[in-house]
A and B are shown apart, each in its own frame.
Chain A
């Protein structure tokens, strides 16, 4: 039996109390750069209290709707971001994944890719999904490269969805099939 389903090489995935996440969320959300990579919505600068309320309601959704994890470093258990599956359709075995590292100093060092690999392992080994999808913004090349490295394949783009800084930007759709992930796993092990 696989005991390490939530552990990667740099991070582990964990379930945290709403008030713990709320503290980090309200801080991260004040970094507009981070928000713009993650969200189509402009940052609203909500209070910690408001985040706690939102998280409490959101975390009540069961695994049939969404699955949400905090990302902590293995080294010293620092909470650096979150990763989750949403739009989960169990009968089709399909879900969207979203990841965000709120702590800038962990960007570009492989932490995101490691968390994504753990999440995909969970999605394919525990949830028995057949594929995982994601949307990434055209102006986020660092994330796009990271997803490509993990094994996501480009599947198309929705043109000029976003408008920011006076320009229009595409949504990029990427996906990874179970067979592709298995092939990648057997290559790297």
Chain B
């Protein structure tokens, strides 16, 4: 019971300090590919000042209804991204998970996978959720593959949901039930 469940093997989940994370997001937002892989909202760039304002406001509203974390490397304490659990989580005990690694040179090296492991453990062992869901984009095969490895099961697609680069793409839904995560956890 005294393990820090927010610690993985490569990363740990941390609280977001508005000034630090605003500076990081301001940098990451210049990478429009990152934005387009992460979010259906149009790629945009906010000033650091505006970001601090937005993040602070968001944190005030969140309280017990959403859980947002920064992803920090264990080696070097570098803030490389963020992850969250949101949606109308209770009373049904289902949250949507989101994850974004803003630092490109940490892509494809297991950091995202490790962060996902940690947040799933938080979801199931601390929040006692029954399932975790996510939606991801047809044009993000790297993420889809990573979620499949994490144990998420395909649950369908909202057809032609996204419109980018002059064509339409599906929004892919995946979910992992507590029972499925428990059998995976023994790995």
Contacts and interface: CB of A to CB of B under 8 A. Distances in A.
Interface string A85-112: 0000011110000000000000000000
Interface of A: 64, 90-93, 126-128
Sort chain B's interface into a size bin. Answer: 10 to 19
A126 B91 contact: yes
Interface in B74-110: 89-93
A91 B91 contact: no
Nearest to A65: B64
B2 interface: no
Contacts of B93: 128
Contacts of A91: 90, 126-129
B91 A90 contact: yes
Contacts of A92: 128
B47 interface: no
B9 interface: no
A91 B92 CA distance: 10
B65 interface: yes
Nearest to B63: A64
Interface of B: 63-65, 89-93, 126-129
By secondary structure, the A interface counts as: loop
A90 B93 CA distance: 9
B94 to A, nearest CB: 11
8 contacts: A90-B91, A91-B90, A91-B126, A91-B129, A93-B128, A126-B91, A128-B91, A128-B93
A126 B91 CA distance: 7
Contacts of A93: 128
Contacts of A64: 63-65, 90
A123 to B, nearest CB: 10
Given A91-B127, A91-B128, A92-B128, A128 B64 contact: no
Contact of A128 (B63, B92, B126, B127): B92
B41 to A, nearest CB: 26
Q: Tell me which of B63, B90, B128 has the highest count of chain A C-beta atoms within 10 A of its own C-beta.
A: B90
User: Which has the most chain B C-beta neighbours within 10 Å: A91, A93, A128?
Assistant: A91
A126 B92 CA distance: 9
B141 to A, nearest CB: 34
Given A93-B128, A128-B90, 8 more contacts: A64-B64, A64-B65, A90-B91, A91-B90, A91-B127, A91-B129, A128-B92, A128-B93
Contacts of A128: 90-93
A48 to B, nearest CB: 32
Instruction: Pick the 6 closest A-B CB pairs, nearest first.
Output: A90-B90, A91-B127, A128-B91, A127-B91, A91-B128, A64-B64
Nearest to A123: B91
A128 B126 CA distance: 17
